[in-house]
Amino acid sequence: MSRVFVTGGAGFIGSHLVDELIKAGNDVIVYDNLSSGKINFLDSAKSTGNLEFINGDLLDLEKLKDSMGDIDIVYHLAANPDIRLGTTITDTDLKQGTVATYNVLESMRINGCKNIAFASSSVVYGEAKKMPTPEDYGPLFPISLYGASKLGSEGLISAWVGTFGIKAWIFRFANIIGTRGTHGVIFDFIHKLKKDPSRLEVLGNGLQEKSYMEVIDCSRAMIHVVEKFNEDLNYVNLGSSDTCSVSRIAEIVIESTGYSNVKIEFTGGDRGWAGDVPKAMLEVNKLTESGFNCNFQSDDAVRHTAKSLIEEIGL
């Protein structure tokens, strides 16, 4: 049994990770300001008696330092959950991403915690010219402020490994989808159809194509990588081995709602918003060769998520 500190543990991905960590026999401390997470996402974890919840902001360095005593590993997932927000409020990702990561690392240093597992993103690759994109692809030039904050956080973690002798696992996520989702393309499509079941607006031309990974698969993969990879600095792509287009997602969501005669309307352009990467597919050989297999590939993950969110939202 380990004592595990999870930032953003009441969020979409974080709460599923907490469930898996407790299932594996760990005691978990969740640190979350509930700005996007929901306390009810932790109901199952709380019922086990192996969860402690701290309502705190990562930008409150003093509180964070005081909360991180006697910890074996930090899973750092807290961040701005909506990549599009950075197009209007330009310091959001700097503060909630890079500065928050510095505070986590500094709190670890002061408290003597030597292990961090970090939720990065495939957006650090920018518009990669090689697909599927392997972990050693470079140079890395992200095109969104969210991607820049994730890459900056990776740099800080790497520096802490080299300077203070910590051990780190960096996860570069594909698009993570599933139950408890609070944002993203499937969530948006369902809400649009709930408002008007006769039409569905799709940002861009619908040809955007990316890898999708189901959230419980993602949570299992994080724990697996920490167990199986033992370098001082480990970085692994987490995703499925295929892709799904936005047009296909729209079709699956409409089919899952049971609505008929829905008109799909595209706003045009090759990307959904400024900073959106139109096509992304990760090479996941490193993950699969370590013995991990996803329960869902992209299409099935989308269908599973659509059905789950429709039930949760009450369409």
pLDDT tens for 258-280 read 999 999 999 999 888 788 888 99
pLDDT at 81: 82
Residue owning tokens 């999870």: 6
Structure tokens at 175: 């698009």
DSSP string spanning 278-289? SEE-B--HHHHT
pLDDT of residue 315: 80
Predicted local distance difference test score (pLDDT) of residue 86 = 73
The pLDDT, as a whole number, for residue 59 is 98
| Residues with catalytic roles | 146
Tokens 């470079």 -> residue: 138
Buried b (16+ CB within 10 A) or exposed e, 277-314: bbebbbbbebbeeeebebebbbbbbbbbbbebbbeeee
Q: Which amino acid is at 48?
A: T
Q: Per residue of the chain (315 residues), what is the pLDDT tens digit?
A: 699 999 999 999 999 999 999 999 999 999 999 999 999 999 999 999 999 999 999 999 999 999 999 999 999 999 998 777 777 889 999 999 999 999 999 999 999 999 999 999 999 999 999 999 999 999 999 999 999 999 999 999 999 999 999 999 999 999 999 999 988 999 999 999 999 999 999 999 999 999 999 999 999 999 999 999 999 999 999 999 999 999 999 999 999 999 999 999 999 998 887 888 889 999 999 999 999 999 999 999 999 999 999 999 888
Residue 126 CA to residue 279 CA, distance in Å, equals 10
Where would I find the H helices in the chain? 12-23, 43-46, 61-67, 92-93, 100-111, 145-164, 185-195, 215-228, 246-257, 285-288, 298-313
The span from the CA of 176 to the CA of 218, in Å, is: 7
* 66/68 Cα distance (integer angstroms): 6
The three-state secondary structure class of 168 is strand
Mind listing the domains of the chain with CATH numbers?
A: 3-176+212-238 (3.40.50.720), 180-211+242-281+293-313 (3.90.25.10)
